[in-house]
A and B are shown apart, each in its own frame.
Chain A
């Protein structure tokens, strides 16, 4: 546990991906092999089901420290993290430092699942007494979850690849799917020979740069293929050796999450790799459902029938990298697209569609068409040179994304709340309102978009102008006006305002604007009506 606790501490202090990679790779090559499997499981979303809840942890901590509930809550609001609050409040540990390994603690926690409350309490209390303060924090995190150490799946994969001298794509393959950290060690997992990693190996994605200004500098429109820029999950579908694999752009295997797409197995020939967008699809209107629908499918381990019905998923195909087992990336786009069209037509499945081309004569016409993006629930237009190869990474020149500008409204801040992690004890999370007659109606929360200096300024202002206190939330005088940008708007019966925004963020601080000039709820409703 000591080594794991040091790893967490070092990772949370490090801001550089390379440093994190080194730390992880060192850990994976030196740690207990069973612990290493657990770390991988914890960092890749395979945390076991919780056996102790937050309310229980709070209660037992208060009992151990002899604190009233209100005082515990004050501490929690200041720290902004339950696991850390508890670690700080517990009385100093007893001297006996017998540190059990991580896998011991994980298995012990799992075994509490059916235990009576008294047994759970006794176990947790005795664990707290045995663990050193730094380890207590980590132990609590094992229960409450979310280490917030900024390690992506890609970094984990690269760290393991480095530690074991393997290729990243092979590691990705071996650690994907369902496995139980109780039943394996990391080396066993990596050298399991039941499947050939080459079968699932994806191609690196080719990504477009943002186009600044107009496309008129790109030359003749006839050389450029235009498509809608869909707002889903970028994916790569592979069928090789009688198996199907779906990768996300984060190089994560997500085949299990999208059974509709996995079901294409029988309809595709071996040796096929397709690049496309995973979208929740409206078969009646022939366009994607708003992103919120796809969101109901992300992060769920077990899908219900209802979810499958309400948010059916399709792959909208953009491109093809492999055909008949041949790497066809060097072929010109127009030829790859022809092959892809044949493939889609032959498969003839609702879950696999072509991403349609936009017909346009000249750049001006395309600019007009681009303005309709929102009506398709898309984010703008993609421009691809019809003669381009499928390249690697983000490259300038052949592929461009030409996004529409976000929606913006001017709104006033009405609540502020302290943030978490590196923003704890700073008021960084704000709620904004628009006018409705003489009332202010909250319609969006935003956490990002200000510089550190602006955050400090707003924080100091909030501290001086807080009107009321509701737990961690401060009501402030409605004075500060901000321009809020967002990508989409949908009706919602969960919000008082009746609307839900997609990706709201602070665009800028309108110090020049008085509260009397902010937007109204009617303005938002008009935006919404224009979407229908």
Chain B
């Protein structure tokens, strides 16, 4: 019996640490394991006994790439527990802040982490020699997203200005004006970026995924909505844990999430686009159509185009929010801690991020539950890899490994979030 194991010890161009192992027995793929060995940091445990008001700053430290996502899910969940409603300009500013994170995070992934796969480079720096304009444009877009974070949040990584009830300080209209000029330029760059990535060579690949995303009555989803899927799931956020279960597998420090009824599912840009195409607005829809992207896209390799489309959308939406902005009378609504339980789900750049907190009468956290997007995508990534590895089994090992890593990067996995980084190991038996 011919057996072999192929292993990628350190998966590169992803955020966090993990490995990939393929077991091959008698010329067929016998096992695929996305090993996440990021050391556990025990956030759900260390949050116990902390003040509910500390949750946004503490959970931001789960991920330096998408701290705003953690801050947003945290404040919405605590506000849910304490019966607080934040609307009007404060709600709009939160959405604007989130747009900044989408632009920054997507530009980072598209240009610095994923594009080199399609164009055959080990990284964006070596890609810059042949594609200088595209790399410069990507860096400029990333910088524009970071400028939104810096102005509204104080700094780009672990912003300091988000609090339960709103913000510590809100900007004036005059302070937002220069941001509008930056975002106008970024919008044009984002359209060019989308056209650039749409020309990449895409492998033929499609699966019958269950896509899961938020859906809001009139917005492309960021901070709020019901949790829906293309197979009829339609639940309130508070019902999340009734519909989804996490399990702990031996090869991973991340818990894997699945639908109790049907197992694997896919979250992130592709799911959002497929389920919310009608909320993108006419100009973004027209651009998607021009690039050959229609709702129902089931090729995860094309998620790089969807990410670029979402950058265009986030620039447009940010400009709309800035144009409509009237400063609120106070930077935050009054907050009165009380005993209770609250849940929230927001759309992190990589997909839905669920938080639940149970708090005592003083507002201290008794229990915390956090489900990041990458642990939700983990079993779907393994399913994709099983198909790709089977298809490419006869290719030289280097190529097989590259194809697998590229397929993993389709999900922009944030392993720090889910807990850790990747190695690819293929065992041939």
Q: A and B, one complex?
A: no
Residues of A whose CB lies within 8 Å of any CB of B are none
